[in-house]
Amino acid sequence: MSKQTQYFLFYLFLLLLSCYLFLSGVINLNNTFLGLPVPVGGFLAWSILIFIPIVIFYGNKSLYQPSKKFHLFYRRIIFLILCFAVLWLFIGYVFAGNWRFNFKAQEAFRGSESASMYFLYFTLTLVIVPVLIGIALRIHNVVAGILSRKS
């Protein structure tokens, strides 16, 4: 088993474990973690957002070892998404004004309903873009394989 496959399986396991813990209700997501002001749900969501681009990266050989310019372009986008995913918790604090990401109707932008919409779009971008890149690369590999067999 190659190093890339080992990394892929390890991060896929961590992603699935984080999703399970986040969605199952096994733990109380509102409890704080190690005395930090951030609730456990925030840490789990943060880990999920970090693991998604990592799994996409290690799951595609064309990203892990780019051979064409557009593979390098997609790789850079994945790294950019990963950087934003690492900063997600802190960006959420800037938008919400608190670590629990509570938003309410108010005049000021920070912590307002409009800030919550921007934060939601930002979070959705962190999830959707790596998944679309992974799908696009899989489709490209399938089409390239079909075309190479015909020639």
pLDDT in tens, 41-91: 999 999 999 999 999 999 998 898 888 898 999 999 999 999 999 999 999
Number of domains composing the chain? 1
Torsion of Cα atoms, 51 then 125 then 63 then 50, to 10°: -20
pLDDT digits (tens, 9 = 90+) for 96-122: 999 889 899 888 999 999 999 999 999
Q: pTM of whole model > 0.85?
A: yes
Q: What rounded mean pLDDT belongs to the chain?
A: 92
Q: Are 46 and 89 in contact (CB under 8 A)?
A: yes
| CB neighbour list of residue 53: distance below 8 Å, 6 or more residues apart | 78, 79, 81, 82, 85, 126, 130
The answer on pLDDT for 151 being more than 70 is no
Maximum alpha-carbon separation in the chain? 64
**What residues make up the domain containing 36?**
3-150
Centre a 10 Å sphere on the Cβ of residue 116 and count the other Cβ atoms it contains. 17
What is the rounded CA–CA span in Å between residue 95 and residue 105? 13
